[in-house]
Structure 1
Amino acid sequence: MTEYLDPHQAAPVGDSERPAREHDMNRRQLLRHAGWFGGAVVLTVAGGEVVSHIAGPRDTAAGAAPVARGTTANGALRFVQVSDSHIGFQGPANTDVTGSFNEAIHQVNSLGFRPDFVMHSGDLTHLSTAAQFDQVRQMMTGMETDRVFTVPGEHDSIGDAGRAYRRTFGKGTLGDGWYSFDTHGVHFIALVNTLSLEKLGHLGNEQIEFVRRDLRGLSSDTPIVVFSHIPLFAMYPRWGWSTDDALKVIALLRRFSSVTCLNGHVHQLFTKTDGNITFHSATTTAYPLPKPGRAPAPTPQVVPARQLKDALGIRTVGYRQGDRELAIKDKRLT
């Protein structure tokens, strides 16, 4: 049975009723930013570094030989990132986002190995309704993995600052839904940077202080993986594809020899390396967005039906203890 969990023991975050007028206003704001498409990407941590690529249907991490389902080769860590499922979206860019997300789940279950966990990096839903959150939760129980982690996207925070999201996925998290955990010698941090619609991409002082305390005491050779929905680098600030106070967190990560930041939001693959830190943007399982600056706004793009799945995908990641890098593989839904 798939669990939605975080190793921290913080109390669940409370909730209050959302004002209908504010909810409707924020929906309209967000529809102007409705965005990218992609699918699952396979990531592997090897030699302390994350490596990504588009995987085959029975791809294994870090070039390891195929192993029996439900086993892990040589004690390696292998996990999957999915992003931007936008359950509830209705539009010509993808008339069946439920079907394409089900295809992504099928790909997760057909990788030839059982992932240690799956991370959904935000925009699970399109309009953050209770029914949409319940639907995506039920769908993800079909993933053949022991644990599913999530971070919220801006579409998961419409009108109520993410309270509905946290009711379903925030048990055991801290503050507005952030947390960290350790496995296979890797330290993972899940951040929330989607709660301010006026300035998309914002962490806030409380969360930055959480990161400061969380990293304190870790050895500088500990591999660090950071998940967020919006990029932690200035990919295209004009469209809200950046985090305005991310440099404060980046400064805290500089002392570590290997840092990998994985995000969604932009619905396309993009990689940037800055010293010891590598940033990887993932594709989506919903619909494409334009490349930065090639359209007036990041609105859903309609492509020929036969080309849609080629724009969607998932990501797998693998890591072997003692390595310095993660091995990342991106897999299209075709």
Structure 2
Amino acid sequence: MELNMQRAWKRRDFLGLAACAGGAVFVSALPGWAAGRDEAFYFVQLSDAHWGFQGPPNPDARGTLPKAVAAVNALAEPPDFLMFTGDLTHTTDDPAERRRRMREFQSIIAALKVPVVHLMPGEHDAGLDQGAAYRELFGPTHYVFDHKGVHFIVLDNVSDPAGRVGAAQLDWLAADLAQQPQSARIVVFTHRPLFDLYPQWDWATRDGAQVIERLMPHPNVTVFYGHIHQEHHHMTGHIAHHAARSLIYPLPAAGSQPQRLPVPWDPAQPYRGLGWREVEAGRASGDFGIEERPVNG
């Protein structure tokens, strides 16, 4: 099966396109798997901005994403790339409003001083139209790229309203993995968790076990995801799964209360539970160093 590989958009490409009506795309492959292979590097993960959300529990709903952009730009050394693991925007039944929110999101992240930005959808971006608006404005919902000896796989487990990756994408994943050596360093990005964290709250992927089954033959696999609006770490066999905090409101621990309601806003600690992370990849190692960063007012 031929993989859909396009070049990644760099910041200068985006700035040129941001002034155009059609917006820009930040997805696809970095050229040169061999370039800088096995050099240490780091990237940033942001997640769950829910741009367009209004009301409790975040009275600064239009401020937290710009604050995160400013925080990333203030880093002493820019990351090699930034990955945004879904729910860029908040869901709406109005197709025109959905696109307007996506364009506003584009305009905000255009300020990022990062060489490459990769995006993927969450269910708020793609669940109501099977990813049509997302693909129109941002490009493919699943893709791969390679960077300094690490193979990155971006999976779409949100465009299907049932919360599945789906047979076609599972075949695509198997074909991609067949091209990788067993010892390859592999990082997978998803929005929903691939394991059954708490299906009652939609914190699962219906066919996530089939994804993990395809990944298990590779001993150096790490998964980064969003969706649950909190830091969380889990192991399935030798595969580590790390959830990121959100940029809009935190959610409670799985099953800790009857309903999945956001943690109330605390004026004394207004940005408690909101944040983003840096991930450092060491030289020729399967381990990744994770540093959690807060959103500050």
User: The TM-score by the shorter chain falls in which range?
Assistant: 0.7 to 0.9
What is the Cα deviation at residue 301 of structure 1?
2.7
Separation (CA, whole Å) in 1 of partners of 2:30 and 2:292: 30
Matched, 1:277 2:246: no
What is the Cα deviation at residue 8 of structure 1?
8.6
- Match among 104, 108, 116 for residue 135 of structure 1: 104
Separation (CA, whole Å) in 1 of partners of 2:129 and 2:236: 35
Query: Alpha carbon RMSD of aligned pairs, Å?
Result: 1.9
Separation (CA, whole Å) in 2 of partners of 1:82 and 1:210: 26
- 2:60 corresponds in structure 1 to 96
Matched, 1:318 2:287: no
Q: CA-to-partner distance for each residue in 1:219-249, whole Å, 9 max, x for gaps?
A: 1221110001100111101111001111111
SS across alignment from 2:282: strand
SS across alignment from 1:96: coil
What is the Cα deviation at residue 191 of structure 1?
0.6
Contact 1:227 1:263 in 2 (8 A): yes
Contact 2:30 2:147 in 1 (8 A): no
1:1-334 matched pairs, under 5 angstroms:
2=11, 3=14, 4-7=26-29, 75-127=39-91, 129-170=98-139, 173=140, 177-197=141-161, 199=162, 201-334=163-296
What is the Cα deviation at residue 91 of structure 1?
1.3
Q: Decide whether aligned partners of structure 1 residues 214 and 108 sit closer, same or farther in structure 2, where only a CA change above 3 A counts.
A: same
Contact 2:127 2:158 in 1 (8 A): no
| Farther off after superposition, 205-214 or 100-109 | 100-109
Q: CA-to-partner distance for each residue in 1:12-62, whole Å, 9 max, x for gaps?
A: xxxxxxxxxxxxxxxxxxxxxxxxxxxxxxxxxxxxxxxxxxxxxxxxxxx
SS across alignment from 1:97: coil
- 2:23 corresponds in structure 1 to none
What is the Cα deviation at residue 152 of structure 1?
0.7
Number of residue-to-residue matches in the alignment:
264
The alignment's TM-score, normalised by the length of structure 1, stands at: 0.75
Separation (CA, whole Å) in 2 of partners of 1:252 and 1:260: 13
What is the Cα deviation at residue 204 of structure 1?
0.3
Identity of counterpart residues, as a percentage? 36
Contact 1:115 1:144 in 2 (8 A): no
The alignment's TM-score, normalised by the length of structure 2, stands at: 0.84
- 1:32 corresponds in structure 2 to none
Query: Which structure 1 segments of 5+ residues have no match?
Result: 10-71
Query: Which structure 2 segments of 5+ residues have no match?
Result: 1-9, 15-25, 93-97
SS across alignment from 2:269: helix
Contact 1:86 1:286 in 2 (8 A): yes
Separation (CA, whole Å) in 2 of partners of 1:119 and 1:163: 21
Contact 1:79 1:316 in 2 (8 A): yes
